[in-house]
Amino acid sequence: MQAFGSGAMTNSIGDITQSKAILAIGTNTTEQHPVLSLQIKKAVRKFGAQLIVADPRRIELTDFAILHLQHKAGTDLALLNGLAYVILQENLYDAGFVAARTENFELWRATVEEYPPERVSAITGVPIDDLVRAARIYGSNHPASIFYAMGITQHTVGHQNVLAVANLAMLTGNMGVPGGGVNPLRGQNNVQGACDMGGLPNVYPGYQSVADDAIREKFTAYHGTGQPPAKAGLTITEMMTAAHDGRVRAMYIMGENPAMSDPNSLHIHECLEKLEFLVVQDIFPNETTEFADVVLPAAAFAEKEGTFTNTERRVQLIRRAFDPPGSTRPDWQILSELARRLGAKGFDYESPSQIMDEIAEVTPIYGGIHHTRLEGDGLQWPCPTPEHPGTPILHVGKFSRGLGHFSPVHHQEAVEMPDTEYPYMLTTGRILQHWHTGTMTRRVSGLNFIAPEERVEINPSDAEKLGIADGDWIRVVSRRGSVTARARVFDRPRPGLVFMTFHFAEALSNVLTNNVVDPVSKIPEYKVCAVKVEKAEGA
Amino acid sequence: MVAVLKPEHIVRTTCPYCGVGCQMDLHIKEHMVYRVSAPYEAPTNHGNLCVKGRFGHEFLWHPDRLKTPLIRRNGWLEEATWDEALDTITAKFAAIKAESGPDAFAFFASAKCTNEENYVMQTLARQVIGTHNIDHCARL
């Protein structure tokens, strides 16, 4: 990450209760990271931390908050800059930290001058008094931590949002201290690990750049046949476009369901259709296997060994409880076998433990991580040597990149804003009982009993205007498609906002979402698109 | 009298759902998980689990599980052996690489799979095929 030099939760779950103030923005923590939210609740109830929740919806966490900033979806940047403005104005910032550990402060400060409370209030819909109060709470309680999730990143300005969060934490000297930090909550169980392991087009494992000749040579020495270029590869969104115009002919998908999880699904279906050869490796048939030429059956988490890395960079073991059913095999075995058949050397792994030993050799941040050391509490990276105890808090005394960098960032509207034809804003997310595209949880009877179907959340004032009652069938229409589902009328979303999940294939919100992406992070703008809502007659 | 199930064994593992990484103990009897508990000493979850971690593992035995490789023949996915499936992939990959080069390939790593599996996949993409076209759903 360009502000500090690495992109992960800077602090640990264990030090949340040391925070005096917590800002939770764009994270529905009680539903998405339920057990971590218990620590936030404990910090508030038992240790008196002051919690500020910034979210366009009145999520459960607001019940524990001293203040709820219910800003309009897609106005996070203005809100964050507005908080910085007040902190600077009232001299609540940590001048010593700023002078000793950061750069570019004066230049950044000049840009924040453009965000006085009056303007910010007009953009975000947050009352001026609340804005000032929030800035005072975050600015004058030390240590203070910030938590965020996809509510911040799934916008065309997602990477600027993250920088704005980092600016705020540096301004108040909340980096490198217990109870402080910038804490992105990672969604999937091993999204942190998949990034760490180089499941990204621009970096090898451990965030080692593909542009670095020495790094490329190091990896080529291990498994030698391919000679990848010095230029980064394609992101998912770009792969799909490349499949559409024939530049990508073959695709290999392991444990993902892009036909359902990616924005503008109907377009994704066309892309998958055009592929000459598609291999899908998964535990269940899903919307994506429909397009596959070969399907490979994989073992599930309880049928194999290995490690997951959690949101606080903790590498932990999974253990085999059952034999893989039928002729299914663990993914690592399937991939190694394929590599051997393609003539590659060095894929004779006998166990995941042996693979981790190789990872440790080529990945400095995992240099001291071996399965034998992970019994008990696991280890938090960076863990460079076999004796290293792991790192609970990043950036203590010094940032990974040296000095922390203040980055000027400016408010801009979402690409698709409500207009007369599509007057409502749609935002998407998940609920407690289901997981992502539902491949797993929709096959658990108890969870389906509690949450059997999609319910579109709509504010009572909007429902009344449209003549919609709770439980009515409604149609949600965007420029890309239309979905029919039942309404849940209550005051959780702010007026003008409707909310849907992406758990239910029969009412799939990603038919509606916009596939425009942040130009830097390439994250699609799931959190904002324009829709119209109408009662569905006779559905 | 109520029969009390005693576990044949207990397996400590990491929850497969969100990024918190809760530690959990699967209590196993007759090839089924009949109870899930959480260790109090785990730094991630201190004995707690959410509804998914506690009750969300039935999918492991769902009849829909893929149990054998499938190959599309005449428009339909039909059961095949591992040899047939892997041979099909090897032949097709070799032909496409020879005709169009490594960048005609794209790989999806997975935020649901282990570190070791993601490592092997990126090695396959970069060092065997020779492309950096690898990504996963971190952005989604």
Q: CA dist B102 to A144, A271, B97, Å?
A: 48, 19, 6
pLDDT at A2 over 60: no
pLDDT computed for residue A434 by the predictor: 87
- Which ipTM did the prediction report? 0.95
- Across residues B93-121, what is the average pLDDT? 97
A contact residues 291-320, partner B, Cβ 8 Å cutoff: 292-298, 300-304, 306-312, 314-320
pLDDT at B7 over 80: no
Closest CB from A262, A331, A355 relative to B140: A262
CA distance A380 to A6: 14
pLDDT computed for residue B5 by the predictor: 61
pLDDT class of A264 with cuts at 50, 70, 90: confident
Instruction: Say if CB A447 and CB A441 are below 8 A apart.
Output: yes
Q: Where are the alpha helices (DSSP H) in A188-264?
A: 191-196, 213-223, 236-244, 258-261
pLDDT computed for residue B4 by the predictor: 60
pLDDT computed for residue A7 by the predictor: 64
Of chain B, the end-to-end C-alpha distance in Å amounts to: 51
pLDDT computed for residue A431 by the predictor: 86
Average per-residue pLDDT for chain A: 93
Cα-flanking dihedrals φ and ψ of residue A42, to 5°?
-65, -40
Contact criterion met (CB < 8 Å) for B134 and A233: yes
pLDDT computed for residue A439 by the predictor: 83
pLDDT computed for residue A202 by the predictor: 94
Residues of A in contact with B74 (CB under 8 A): none
pLDDT computed for residue A260 by the predictor: 82
Which are the contacts of A478, defined by CB distance < 8 A and separation ≥ 6? A422, A426, A511, A512, A513, A514, A529, A530, A531
β-pair partners for A485 = A474
CA atoms within 13 A on the CB side of B9: 8
Closest CB from A189, A194, A234 relative to B17: A189
- Test the A interface: residue of B26, B33, B117 with most A CBs within 10 Å: B117
Q: In what order do the strands lie in the sheet with A306-309?
A: A306-309, A314-318, A379-380
Give the pairing type, strands A314-318 and A379-380: antiparallel
- Across residues A413-418, what is the average pLDDT? 87
- Across residues A124-152, what is the average pLDDT? 96
The pair of structure tokens assigned to A431 is 């609920």
- The model's pLDDT over A216-256, given as tens digits with 9 standing for 90+, comes to 999 988 887 767 899 999 999 899 999 999 999 999 999 99
Cα-flanking dihedrals φ and ψ of residue A37, to 5°?
-65, -25
For B16, nearest residue in chain A (alpha carbons): A189
Alpha-carbon gap: B137 to the closest alpha carbon of chain A (Å): 8
Contact criterion met (CB < 8 Å) for B17 and A435: yes
When mean pLDDT is compared across A309-318, A326-335, A407-416, the lowest value belongs to: A407-416
Alpha-carbon gap: A237 to the closest alpha carbon of chain B (Å): 10
For A320, nearest residue in chain B (alpha carbons): B11
Residues of A in contact with B57 (CB under 8 A): 302, 444
| Class of residue A539 by CB neighbours under 10 A (exposed 0-12, middle 13-18, buried 19+) | exposed
Residues of A in contact with B127 (CB under 8 A): 219-220, 222-226, 228, 344
CA atoms within 13 A on the CB side of A529: 27
Contact criterion met (CB < 8 Å) for A321 and B13: yes
Residues of B in contact with A336 (CB under 8 A): 120
DSSP class of A149: -
Instruction: Say if CB A510 and CB A262 are below 8 A apart.
Output: yes
CB contact A404 to B (< 8 Å): no
For B12, nearest residue in chain A (alpha carbons): A319
For A272, nearest residue in chain B (alpha carbons): B106
- Test the B interface: residue of A17, A46, A254, A279 with most B CBs within 10 Å: A254
CA distance A338 to A25: 43
Instruction: Say if CB A193 and CB A182 are below 8 A apart.
Output: no
Residues of A in contact with B79 (CB under 8 A): none
Q: In this prediction, what percent of chain A has a pLDDT beyond 70?
A: 98
For B127, nearest residue in chain A (alpha carbons): A226
Contact criterion met (CB < 8 Å) for B133 and A201: yes
Closest CB from A14, A231, A302 relative to B43: A14
- The model's pLDDT over A482-513, given as tens digits with 9 standing for 90+, comes to 999 999 999 999 999 999 998 888 888 888 88
CB contact A527 to B (< 8 Å): no
Name the pTM for this structure: 0.94
Q: In this prediction, what percent of chain A has a pLDDT beyond 90?
A: 77
CA distance B129 to B127: 6
For B84, nearest residue in chain A (alpha carbons): A294
pLDDT class of A156 with cuts at 50, 70, 90: confident
Higher pLDDT, A117 or B6: A117
| Class of residue A362 by CB neighbours under 10 A (exposed 0-12, middle 13-18, buried 19+) | buried
- The model's pLDDT over A434-475, given as tens digits with 9 standing for 90+, comes to 888 888 888 898 888 889 999 999 999 999 999 999 999 999
| Class of residue A421 by CB neighbours under 10 A (exposed 0-12, middle 13-18, buried 19+) | exposed
Q: Where are the alpha helices (DSSP H) in A206-323?
A: 213-223, 236-244, 258-261, 265-274
- The model's pLDDT over B14-48, given as tens digits with 9 standing for 90+, comes to 999 999 999 999 999 888 899 999 999 999 999 99
Q: Which amino acid is at A421?
A: E
- Across residues A30-49, what is the average pLDDT? 96
pLDDT at A3 over 70: no
Contact criterion met (CB < 8 Å) for A192 and B19: yes
CB contact A505 to B (< 8 Å): no
Alpha-carbon gap: A484 to the closest alpha carbon of chain B (Å): 23
- By residue count, chain B amounts to 140
Contact criterion met (CB < 8 Å) for B119 and A296: no
The three-state secondary structure class of A76 is: helix
H/E segment holding residue A333: helix A331-341
Q: CA dist A513 to A268, A416, A499, A524, Å?
A: 12, 10, 12, 9
Closest CB from A38, A258, A306 relative to B114: A306
Would you give the distance in Å from CA A69 to the centre of its chain?
A: 21
